[in-house]
Structure 1
Amino acid sequence: MKNVAVVGASGAVGERMIRLLEEREFPLASIKFLASERSAGKTVTFRGEKHTVRPISRDEFRDVDIVLSSTPAGVSREWSPIAAEAGAVVVDNSSAYRMDPEVPLVVPEVNPQDVAKNKGIIANPNCSTIQMVVALKPLHDAARIRRVVVSTYQSASGAGQKGVDEYEAQTRAWGRGEPVPAPAKFAHPILNNCLPQIDDFLPNGFTKEEMKMVDETRKIMGDDSIDVVPTCVRVPVAYSHSESILVETERPLSADEARTLWRNAPGLTIVDDPSTKQYPLAASAEGRDDVFVGRIRNDLKNPNALLFWCVSDNLRKGAATNAVQIAELLLKLEPARA
């Protein structure tokens, strides 16, 4: 039984963390819900009881064992070390610590052993990275991945509630025949559009989101030799990210072998029946925790290349579920650490 604090409890990911703690019957001695001063005072319902969201403060972390945190990176940089100093292990969903060499970056289906290396903070990876590495791990273990070319089709909710609100407001206006509201969260209207930019551009021509996929994949997989070439695109879908992935391996890997590997891998579901038009869909993945793979096929000319389509709910497995799974791994460690 653990004392748990949810930081960012009123946000989209925080709300899903709370629901997942209920769904997965996480063993709790106590729980508290924290947020910024702006969001404090709201109420959340947990296991049938209403709780007031309290403002983050140093005292709130006293006697807390595990902190599930989903806040902007700046807030995390301020408060996650304070929570860790108070004796908690923080599962941090922001980008603040992901590439810190002292902080494990964990996807439980891929590198669960790294949880034990924590020094008070464990980083939760980027949503687009999480679903991809869950699919890559069995292939890498079997045939060693040399190169990954990935194009993402990321939902509006990846930009937070403001992204969803903007997408829905534009959709409602369009449906009523009214002028579509000008974009605020996105660089261009998301309605009826695909935006090949997520986050800011860097001098190398890639965006920050794309470089997250490069750097985080190598860290999670424990292999800096993997060549990752991403293009990240925002699409007019409310929830769930989709990815088109080409993997080049050291030895030939047939589509049938890949299916066998994925059937035996944790957290993966194959949806792949071209005869009945069955393949992973963003709408079908919403509200579910698995990573779904389909459209599995070999390259027409390169026997060492495999292509597939990968879909997952970005707010669940891409954020909240992964964080709660990390907390479940902490339960298995020695009490002094967890």
Structure 2
Amino acid sequence: MYKIAIVGASTLLGKELKDVLSDSTLAGATFTLLDDQKGQGQLDQVGDEVTFVQAVERDAFEKMDFTFFCGSEEMTRRHWKNALQAGSTVLDLTGVLDHEPGVLVRAPWVTGNDVSADLFTPAIVPAHPAALALALLLERLRPALPRFIAATLLAPASEFGSPAMDELHQQTVNLLSFQALPKAVYDAQAAYNLLSGMGENTQLSLHQLEARIRHHYEALGGGRLPALALQAIAAPVFHGHAFSIAVELERAVEIAALEDALGGDHVDLVLEDTDSPSNLAATGQNDVLVRLRPVIEGRNPTQFTRFWLWAASDNLRLYAQNAVECALELRRLRPQGTVQ
């Protein structure tokens, strides 16, 4: 019987994490739900256990096997060392611990990084879902010798949390009724618009998002994944990542060979235009949906050196799924379900 704490249980990511845990082999654990004042007192459920969201007290982490941090960055900064000192394994989904000494970025679905955690690892950072999706796809193209890869990520409002979603919703409503737009979060018009940068007073940063994804992608690859050029665009959608990826190979390869390489676990290769990947199609899916479209050059219509990938994934679902997979991988350090 494991004991698991979720800090930020009332956030979008916290709610998705509870759903994934309820469907996992950890569903029988004892759960403690923690959050700031706004989320406290709410009645919630994980698996078959009904519980209340509690305040994050100093002794809240006693005898916890795993503590997931998926709330605000400030909450993680304040409490992660308390969880560590209590003997809990820390899994940070907020980005605060990305560059802490000894902390590992992990994604068990990706085989490029063979460095595993041990009893001296201070914390685990489950890889960002965009980095995970890109690593899954590009790891499989590595034998084809990519020469150049450039990816554009269309980031939804849920990437930035509930305040961004609420503002996007209100901007959409206000535009349709010819009212002034709220801009406290984006400091720009996000509704019906694509943004490569925000306003001067924004609370968000696409550059920080790009840097974090690149860092996680490189950590997952362990030096073996192909180099990646990346830009992030804020899209006027609520959920789901979408990727436009341009790939150029060292030599021509048959399209069937590329399709065979891309298919497999955790990747759903879409072959028909009518079923094109989209953020809506990816909702609730654990897999990355991808469509391959070659750039036709020369006289040979069966071999190509350049092609496009159009991919989509459920950003919250993939993040939560990877976090749970990381916890399952760490069970070897806690074989009895007790703080070692």
- Same fold? TM cut 0.5: yes
Cross-structure match for 1:280: 277
Q: CA deviation at 1:198?
A: 6.8
% identity of equivalent residues: 23
1:129-170 deviation per Cα after TM superposition (whole angstroms, max 9, x unaligned): 222112122222x23545421111111111111111111112
Cross-structure match for 1:131: 133
Worse overlay, 31-40 or 13-22: 31-40
Instruction: Mark the runs of 5 or more structure 2 residues left unpaired by the alignment.
Output: none
Q: What does 1:18-167 correspond to in 2, within 5 Å?
A: 18-100=18-100, 102-111=102-111, 113-117=114-118, 119-140=121-142, 142-167=143-168
Mapped partners of 2:33, 2:91: distance in 1: 15
Instruction: Mark the runs of 5 or more structure 1 residues left unpaired by the alignment.
Output: none
Worse overlay, 7-16 or 192-201: 192-201
Q: 1:100 to 1:224 in 2, by over 3 A?
A: farther
Mapped partners of 2:294, 2:198: distance in 1: 28
Q: 1:158 to 1:288 in 2, by over 3 A?
A: same
Mapped partners of 2:48, 2:184: distance in 1: 37
Q: 1:198 to 1:105 in 2, by over 3 A?
A: farther
Q: 1:259 to 1:38 in 2, by over 3 A?
A: same
- Tell me the amino acid that sits aligned with residue 327 of structure 1: A
- Tell me the amino acid that sits aligned with residue 245 of structure 1: I
Q: 1:306 to 1:104 in 2, by over 3 A?
A: farther
Mapped partners of 2:21, 2:175: distance in 1: 38
Q: CA deviation at 1:292?
A: 0.8
- TM-score, structure 1 as length reference: 0.87
Name which of 290, 295, 300 aligns with 1:293: 290
RMSD between aligned alpha carbons?
Answer: 2.8
* Equivalent position SS for 2:135: helix
Q: CA deviation at 1:114?
A: 3.6
* Equivalent position SS for 2:20: helix
1:233-272 deviation per Cα after TM superposition (whole angstroms, max 9, x unaligned): 01111110101012344554443222112223x2111113
1:308 lines up with 2:309 in the alignment: yes
Cross-structure match for 1:233: 233
Checking the alignment, whether the CA contact within 8 Å between 1:3 and 1:28 is kept in structure 2 is no
Mapped partners of 1:67, 1:239: distance in 2: 25
Worse overlay, 79-88 or 291-300: 291-300
Mapped partners of 2:64, 2:198: distance in 1: 35
Checking the alignment, whether the CA contact within 8 Å between 2:106 and 2:326 is kept in structure 1 is yes
